[in-house]
Structure 1
Amino acid sequence: MRILDEPEWRARAESHQRRVDAWIGPHLERRQAGTPHPVEDFLFDYYGYRPGRLRRWHPGAGVVLAGANGYGVDYVDTAEGATLDVERLLAKRGAMVEWTATLLSATASRQGHFGCFGMHEWAMVYKLPADEVRHAAQPLRMPPEEIAAVVERRGARCSHFDAFRFFTEPARPLNTLHPTRERQAELEQPGCLHANMDLYKWAYKLSPLVPSELVADCFELARDIRTLDMRASPYDLGALGYEPVPIETPEGRVTYAAAQRGFAERAAPLRRTLLELCERLLDGLRVPAG
């Protein structure tokens, strides 16, 4: 057990809250005003992790908060202070931690692929009626028939199930793979924008067993990835201040692949840290009682 003095853990908690408030505050204001943002609100809407939970700071497993008492429902009080009830949490989440470790390890073991060029967003609007387009409040950069021509010319190389499942029915046969939930650990690779964006999902699902700073790091990466995701999409977000990455052109594809490699480099240490924390928790589960 590592003991954090009260001034130290309170400073960390306040720093974390200030950091995430910069993301949460504008989101809550837009929600109250009824003006959704296709980039900035995506992580809150798609992943469903409530802002209040993102804001709550946790030190992670194996840490005692000196001077704390009754810190939360997942904590127990000791003579030194409050600490997570890791045994009880793992009794409920052990299988999830093991599944997450398997996925993270499998993804990290592969070479990244950087030739998809964000065609998943195009495949999500391929031959779709205008009133069914996901971000219908935003104009498209080109007519639907030109979007269809780009998809048909380039095809799709999506390995991520949670992107592929939003493809339109006519677009699915154009993908080189057929990802399923069951094949997720088999197919995910570290160059994929969505696999790297999902590090935020695995981090918050492991919370409060992982430090909240790590959850915020993964959120920040996912937020930046979402920006590229939508800049490379067929939507015109110029009115919101986003310059397109025109992947329908050779220059746009070069720009996209370079950014994709940069995100893969940023994601690697976060994935490694999450995996190490999972393995440490699983090692605790495997220690015989007594």
Structure 2
Amino acid sequence: MSGVGGARAYPGPVLPLLVPAPVVLPEAGWTARAAAHQRRMDVWLDPHQQRRRTGVAHPVLDFLFTYYSETPGRLRRWHPGVGVVLTGAAATERASWPFHAEVEVRDAAGERVRGVGLDVPAFLAKRRTSVGWIEGLLRGTAGRPGQFGCFGMHEWAMLYRPEDGEVRHPLPLRLGQAGTDAVVESHRVQCSHIDAFRFFTRAAEPRNTLRPTRDTQQQLEQPGCLHATMDLYKWAYKLSPAVPGELLADCFALAADVRELDMRASPYDLTGHGYAPVAVETPEGKAEYGAAQRAFADRGAVLRDRLLAVCRELLAPA
């Protein structure tokens, strides 16, 4: 059987015709997108893997590969996302990938062709609860106004009057320990994100105006939060392979940019690593931080909507 992009007849049974009709991608088009995705991701992945081989730690960028758990191999692997079928001989290998299946569809000319696409029933059998939770979190976050008055104090609270074992990074402090403590004591600490709050020192916890927990995450997360914006990358890979590779890469790129601001606005002195500080203890630094925070929230809103569209397509009644 022939079809779009030289689609071949795959051996063995296939799923019935998909409803609604999926997007059908010919081999030449989707393989070019896959190669472009790998080139884009290698801008980050190649230096990271070189650092790992030489045992060189990076105080800013390692976070993207340690705190977040997606592997370089999976990050390089492009997926078309839910509702898309790949045709052509190169798609054959993907039929054996997790959550993929051979399907029969109609191409743009109305002819039946066979290809490989996301096996939505199999995906939801394993991940329906997770998809529903992520959808609820993203929807709730999108429906709240952004809060832009925190000035990155979460990073300072992680270093406030530390006890043994509470300092996570062996880096110098711009203002020293006493100066760092004084900044925390002169600011209102209002962190809404559980995965930032859980790293507060014991002395800093009572200073926070909120008590975020995992159970209240869906109720407290808001789109101005840098960590909520970085976490769009986490939700993208948690939804893989239902998320298009381009969306995953967009979320990763945003997380990398936000991580840089997060650390530049922290108490650490990173000038030796090429990062100029955002001195949030000053009016000028607060203005710089707030402007960047709003710009990241705007970028995040677009990506959040795209992730929500993936969730809703997955959860839509068959």
Identify the TM-score tier after normalising by the shorter chain: over 0.9
SS in 1 for 2:67: helix
Distance in 1 between residues matched to 2:249 and 2:269, nearest whole Å: 29
Alignment pair present for 1:30 and 2:64? no
Aligned residues of 2:152 and 2:265 also touching (Cα < 8 A)? yes
Q: Offset at 1:77? A: 2.1
The corresponding residue for 1:224 is: 257
Mapping 1:97-246, distance limit 5 Å: 97-129=131-163, 132-136=166-170, 138-246=171-279
The corresponding residue for 1:75 is: 100
Long gaps (5+) in structure 1: none
The corresponding residue for 2:74 is: 53
Distance in 2 between residues matched to 1:21 and 1:45, nearest whole Å: 17
Aligned residues of 1:70 and 1:76 also touching (Cα < 8 A)? no
Aligned residues of 2:101 and 2:118 also touching (Cα < 8 A)? yes
Alignment pair present for 1:94 and 2:128? yes
Q: Offset at 1:85? A: 1.2
Distance in 2 between residues matched to 1:272 and 1:99, nearest whole Å: 15
Letter in 1 for 2:53: Q
TM-score normalised to structure 2 length: 0.87
Residue-by-residue CA offset, 1:200-233 (whole Å, 9 max, x unaligned): 0000000001101101100000000000000000
Distance in 2 between residues matched to 1:113 and 1:256, nearest whole Å: 13
RMSD across aligned positions (CA): 1.2
The corresponding residue for 2:300 is: 267
Distance in 2 between residues matched to 1:85 and 1:109, nearest whole Å: 31
Distance in 1 between residues matched to 2:311 and 2:226, nearest whole Å: 22
Tell me how many residue pairs correspond in the alignment.
284
Q: Offset at 1:128? A: 1.4
Could you list the structure 1 runs, at least 4 aligned residues long, displaced by more than 6 angstroms after superposition. Answer: none
Distance in 2 between residues matched to 1:263 and 1:158, nearest whole Å: 17
Residue-by-residue CA offset, 1:44-91 (whole Å, 9 max, x unaligned): 110111111111111011211111113123211235211121110111
Aligned residues of 2:162 and 2:203 also touching (Cα < 8 A)? no
SS in 1 for 2:204: helix
The corresponding residue for 2:39 is: 18
Q: Offset at 1:33? A: 1.1
Relative to structure 1, the CA distance from residue 30 to residue 130 in structure 2 (aligned partners, 3 Å threshold; closer, same or farther) is farther
Distance in 2 between residues matched to 1:20 and 1:96, nearest whole Å: 26
The corresponding residue for 2:30 is: 9
Residue-by-residue CA offset, 1:146-197 (whole Å, 9 max, x unaligned): 1111101103110000000000010001011010000001101110000010
Flag the structure with higher helix content: 1
Letter in 2 for 1:96: S
Long gaps (5+) in structure 2: 1-21, 105-113
The corresponding residue for 1:66 is: 87
Aligned residues of 1:238 and 1:244 also touching (Cα < 8 A)? yes
Larger Rg: 2
Distance in 2 between residues matched to 1:168 and 1:49, nearest whole Å: 27
Aligned residues of 2:271 and 2:277 also touching (Cα < 8 A)? yes
Distance in 1 between residues matched to 2:165 and 2:195, nearest whole Å: 22
The corresponding residue for 2:19 is: none
Distance in 2 between residues matched to 1:238 and 1:143, nearest whole Å: 15
Aligned residues of 1:159 and 1:187 also touching (Cα < 8 A)? yes
Q: Offset at 1:130? A: 7.7
Letter in 1 for 2:28: P
SS in 2 for 1:189: coil
SS in 2 for 1:22: helix
TM-score normalised to structure 1 length: 0.95
Letter in 2 for 1:69: T
SS in 2 for 1:117: coil
Letter in 2 for 1:31: R
Letter in 1 for 2:151: F
Aligned residues of 2:87 and 2:116 also touching (Cα < 8 A)? yes
Q: Offset at 1:131? A: 6.3
